[in-house]
Chains A and B, each alone.
Chain A
């Protein structure tokens, strides 16, 4: 993927001109969304998207969620993929906490896991950039490199026809992000915080993807599949708001799953 914002001054000038001459977009007020072919079932957000929304609801003590323990290494590729997503999410948490030593350790851990799964070459430059940016406390650069790391890992997996492993990386990150989200909201419950859990399409998406992986007979995947069924009614409460009890219960479930993901 092309990296971003090194456009030349002429391109900048052209965009400035566009800014003056662009038209307001005209579009129908209503459409039947079911009639459109989809490019992707549903785009899985990065953990920092939900962390960004959480930050706007009030101060969060991110330092208490920073985790750098090395944890187990696995020989099963699906387990490593899940863990990789989980550790990248830890990287985003360490960025929120502005914890440079943690970011650097996590960068190295990500590199070692990626090597273990055969896609290390794709992220070696990002791991180096993460360390350098953390040393200079350039948090926006660290965040961008973590994003690139996940994108490169998944791109490399897709090139190797390992799309299912790529989906497990997303799932690992989403579970860790949801665990942290529910931990924060449980501590200081607000309706707005709980609403961030309203992600029924993502839940269905992950459930469908796991069902399509019968070749991975790994107990943790079975646990996650069962847990998604447990979580669904808690977050898809119709017109009723998501309750403090539901948030606490989802935190218990995702914490249990996190334990299964990171330990042997």
Chain B
């Protein structure tokens, strides 16, 4: 490759490839979250199209605040594409009290939390990368209700 073409390659093509990889990883995390949701759809849960995501270091946590309605039942599903990561998702009320159902679960790079709200209010969904071989681990959260 002549130096001019090499320069163009470095300036234009490499960032494009890197950018595509980064986007694909968050999308991959979302597809894992949706895989976790799939069995629940057959039980009548409507899964919202939007999702929330990003990347976190091992041990880091983040919160998603969410308005929930009494009468509905919600599941939140968290996924990552990093196979050896361990992730978790939990639901707290405004006062910081754990309010999820005991059938909430975590398994490697999937986790899910279940709530039947006892009041209409906003709640905190806390996502965490507990362990990961990667410096930063992509995650995605989806939710459904019925």
Contact = CB atoms under 8 A, between A and B. Distances in A.
B92 A1 contact: no
B102 A151 contact: no
A18 interface: yes
Given A11-B35, A43-B65, A25 B96 contact: no
Interface string B121-139: 1101010000000000000
B54 to A, nearest CB: 7
A237 B67 CA distance: 17
Nearest to B71: A53
Q: Bin the interface of chain A by size.
A: 35 or more
A30 B67 contact: no
B85 interface: no
Given A15-B35, A32-B96, A37-B63, A43 B71 contact: no
Contact of A2 (B30, B67, B103): B30
A52 to B, nearest CB: 6
Contacts of A150: 49
Interface stretch (A63-71, A80-88, A100-108, A193-201): A193-201
Given A2-B31, A15-B39, A49-B72, A37 B62 contact: yes
A57 interface: yes
A199 B67 contact: yes
Interface string A1-42: 111110100011011101101111101111111001111111
A229 B33 CA distance: 38
Contacts of B37: 4-5
Interface of A: 1-5, 7, 11-12, 14-16, 18-19, 21-25, 27-33, 36-46, 48-50, 52-54, 56-57, 140, 143-144, 147-148, 150-151, 154, 192, 195-202
